[in-house]
Structure 1
Amino acid sequence: RLLLERREVAALEQALQGQREDLGQRLERLAQRRRRLAQREEQLQDLILKFNAFLEAVVARQERAQERADKARAQAAERDAEVSHLRQELTELLRCRERLAQRLRSLRSFGEYLRAVLARLGRFQDVPAMVAHFEELAGMRALLAQREEARQEQVAQGWERLRRNQEEAGSELLRTKDELRQLRARLEAARQDVLPQESLRAHSQSAATQKTLVLGQIKLAVLNLFQAATTRLKIPVNVALEDTEAQLDMVLLCMQDLTATCAELRPGQLGPCPPRLPVATSHGGARVALSQE
């Protein structure tokens, strides 16, 4: 029985070993398949990357081709527009050429006339020189006309300023006349107010004039007495002609001296005499010397 069990165990071990080997082989095959799948996946990734790069390159080429096509279409449109513009310019130039040809045909008679004038004048070398001379004259005429117009404008402005100045002067004259009338009215009113004062001042001036005349007469009388006394008595004096007070003092001294002299010569006939003054006296810085006769 033990042997039988051992045999069963050995058979089981052999079966288990076979299963193990089979499982190892299967695992090995599975690992190989995994490695092949990984390689294929890597290959697929490379293919996908290459395909994406190819697609990007294709898209870029398409975009560049589209851009080139757009540029070509734009250039073609520009060339078409330029061609159309050039055709229009050519048409205009042809029309202008036709007009110039017609004008040349119409001006041919003028050219003949200018050549005839050139031959008749004989002062110019050719027609362009003559035309340039007359164009210069025309320019000078236009300049003179412009200057004359400017001068006329200045004259008009001057007349306008004169008119405004006259109006302003008239207005100022009217205002001045009004002010003058007002001032005259004020002057008349002031004159009416000042008239009593003027009459009073005239009376005062008249009284002062009379007093001045009287004072002048007094001064003249004193001067005459002074000159008569000093001349008669031969008294050397140093008194100014305007110093009336000194002259009057001198006359009084002379009178006192004469009175004293008379009293000495005729003591019985004269009444009491005033006291005799000194022979020499001074007045206002002027020294007077009296001589006794």
Structure 2
Amino acid sequence: MSRSLWWCQAFKEKMKVITCRWRDLHAKEAQLKIYMEKSGRILKENDKMRIQALKKASKERERRIQKESEVLRAKRELEALRNKHQKLCNKVQKYSIFTKYLEDVVKISQFEEIQEIIWRYKTLMRVHKDLLQSQQGHVEMSEQAKVLLDQYTAEKEAEILQYQNELVQLQLRFDQTQNDILPWQTHWADIQNTNAKKALKLGTIKMAILNLFQCVSMQLKAHLNVPVDDSHRQLNMIQQFIQDLADISMEVKRKSIQNHQLYL
């Protein structure tokens, strides 16, 4: 029993020690966490400051490079201006003789100043340029007109050639038509001759019918109201007269035979 109590007491003591150590570990862990967070913030701030310093250094380097470039460009421009100034000085020195010449011209001319001579020269040059441009414009217009004339001439020549070809074709067709018409003209002449003969024959027949009709009228001793040119009615009247005459003749013959038989 005492041994069990001893083990229980030892276990409790050991648990107290473990609990104390566990508490110390938690405390140290919390301190370590706080330290890590603080260290992280410090590192972030250091990184931020380092980045800002790098950016600042980069900007300073860019500004320095830009300034050096501007200085170099300014030196080049200054050198170019010096060269230009030297050239202008050389030209002034070179053309100084013309100044003396213009001064002499002013003395012996109607101009009072050198500037008037320069203005007059510029005016003359401008007029000369305008004349050259006008002449060039006239030349271009003349060339354009020549091109248009050549084009128009070519078009008209092509049209004339086309019309000539069409005229040749029409002439061929006309000749062919003339050749085709000749037999028909001959046939038409034959038809006209035949019609003339038939018309003459018809006129003769109508005249004969009219004569017979007049004879019938005289035999009948009656005025028959039939137009002179109505051959059909005249012919019908003649046929009717002949038929009546035949009937009368037959009747006379029949009666003569009857009378002869009676006498016998």
Q: TM-score range by the shorter chain?
A: 0.5 to 0.7
Pairing 1:164–2:147 present: no
Residue 145 of structure 1 aligns to which amino acid in structure 2?
L
CA pair 28-101 structure 1, distance change in 2 beyond 3 A: same
Deviation at 1:80, TM superposition (A): 2.0
Deviation at 1:28, TM superposition (A): 5.7
Q: Distance in 1 between matches of 2:41 and 2:95?
A: 77
Cα deviations by residue, 1:230-285 (Å, 9 ceiling, x for unpaired): xxxxxxxxxxxxxxxxxxxxxxxxxxxxxxxxxxxxxxxxxxxxxxxxxxxxxxxx
Corresponding residue SS for 2:124: helix
Q: 2:54 aligns with which of 32, 56, 66?
A: 66
Q: CA deviation at 1:179?
A: 3.1
CA-to-partner distance for each residue in 1:30-82, whole Å, 9 max, x for gaps? 65555444333322322222122112212222222122222222222222222
Deviations 1:177-210 (A, max 9, x none): 3333443444344445556749x78xx8xxxxxx
The equivalent of 1:138 in structure 2 is 125
Query: How many Å separate the matches in 1 of 2:146 and 2:22?
Result: 119
Deviation, structure 1 residue 162: 1.6
Query: 1:155 Cα shift?
Result: 0.6
Match status 1:187 vs 2:197: no
Distance 1:170 1:16 in 2: 144
SS of structure 1 residue aligned to 2:51 = helix
Shift of 1:152: 0.7
User: Which of 160, 163, 166 lines up with 1:173 in the alignment?
Assistant: 160
Q: How many residues align?
A: 191
In the other structure, the counterpart of 1:111 is 99
Q: Percent identity?
A: 22
Q: Quote the Cα distance in structure 2 between the aligned partners of 1:115 and 1:53.
A: 87
Higher RCO (CA-CA < 8 Å; seq separation 6+): 1
SS at match of 1:52: helix
Tell me what 2:221 maps to.
none
Extract unaligned runs of 5+ from structure 1: 1-8, 205-293
Q: Compare the two structures and name the one with the higher helix fraction.
A: 2
Supply the RMSD in Å over aligned alpha carbons.
Answer: 3.7
Using structure 1 for the length normalisation, give the TM-score: 0.52
- Change in CA separation of 1:184 and 1:38 when aligned onto 2, cut-off 3 Å: closer
Superposed counterparts of 1:222-241, under 5 Å? none
Q: What code does the residue aligned with 1:172 have?
A: E
Q: 1:123 to 1:38 in 2, by over 3 A?
A: same
**1:82-131 deviations in whole A, cap 9, x for unaligned?**
2222222222221111111111111112222233334444446x434442
Separation of aligned partners in 2, 1:55 and 1:186: 113
Distance 2:175 2:14 in 1: 154
Query: Alpha carbons of 1:24 and 1:140: their partners in 2 closer, same or farther (altered >3 Å)?
Result: same
Matched, 1:152 2:139: yes
* TM-score, normalised relative to structure 2: 0.57
* CA 1:117–1:24: 2 relative to 1, 3 Å: same
**Counterpart AA for 2:160:** L
For 1:143 and 1:77, the matched residues in 2 are separated by: 53
**Residue equivalent to 2:235:** none
**Secondary structure of the corresponding residue to residue 38 of structure 2:** helix
- For 2:67, the equivalent position in structure 1 comes to 79
1:38 to 17, 26, 29: 26
